[in-house]
Structure 1
Amino acid sequence: MIAPGLASGTQARSPRRADHADPLLPMELLELELSLDGYDGKSDFCETVRVASAKAGGELLFDLPAEGLMDDCKRIAVLRIPSSEQKMRVVLAVLDHSGTEIRMEAPDPATAHLARFAEAFVKVLERF
């Protein structure tokens, strides 16, 4: 399910649905979202996201604990996936607190710093 959680603090974010009219969550996320839909919490989160993003033509950049970044989840994986504009887009795969569901999110104001860090991370790697 593509749905946001709570931002740091207590503000709720509005839902972001994957459709071609929403530039924040393009149709490219549909394949990735569907491949993560059956996650049961028994498999390794990072490896599951890595495999799913590769199948969608993307890549896992890094994952990190969500503590202090997002209140409603356990881990966050930062991915780059192809977008319809012939470039790569940064998105987040978020593991819920129970560790049994992964949802996709576009960076919003509360997580924009992760997207900026990911883009800087990619630029550094490209220089090597």
Structure 2
Amino acid sequence: MEISGPGIATTSLYYSDTACSSEVMKEASTYSDFKGTSSEAGDGAKGYLITARIQTYTLTITNDTYTTAVNSASFCGLTTWVTGSQVDVLGKTCDSNTYPEKNTTLYNSIVGSETSLIIGDYAEGGYPSSPSSPVVFMKE
């Protein structure tokens, strides 16, 4: 099986509390030239090896207190964060994360079974041997 398409978009929200009632940041990204091929993941799980070229990666600070903190810390090398404004972070280092340049081909793997789906982070230079920093979705 092969998967392909013009693009994919992702959005993640981050909160300062475990009840997810106080949003502090939104992360959004877009990818082009999305392609995937099926692979055997073992233990009856199905897997896909995927590639995509990153087009945008933005961070939006959504909380005034957090905006003050990231400006004080020069987060991503910037001191000009404005609450509610998107900032393109491609090519920047933010804490321990270094974001790739626009149009960089990224690699990922997705593993699924009848009860779960595991999606890792994209990597540069080749497919990860297993999903890194995996997000696991479980069937109820």
Q: What TM-score, normalized by structure 2, do the two folds share?
A: 0.27
| Higher RCO by CA contacts (8 Å cutoff, separation 6 or greater) | 1
Q: Please, what TM-score do these two structures have when normalized by structure 1?
A: 0.29
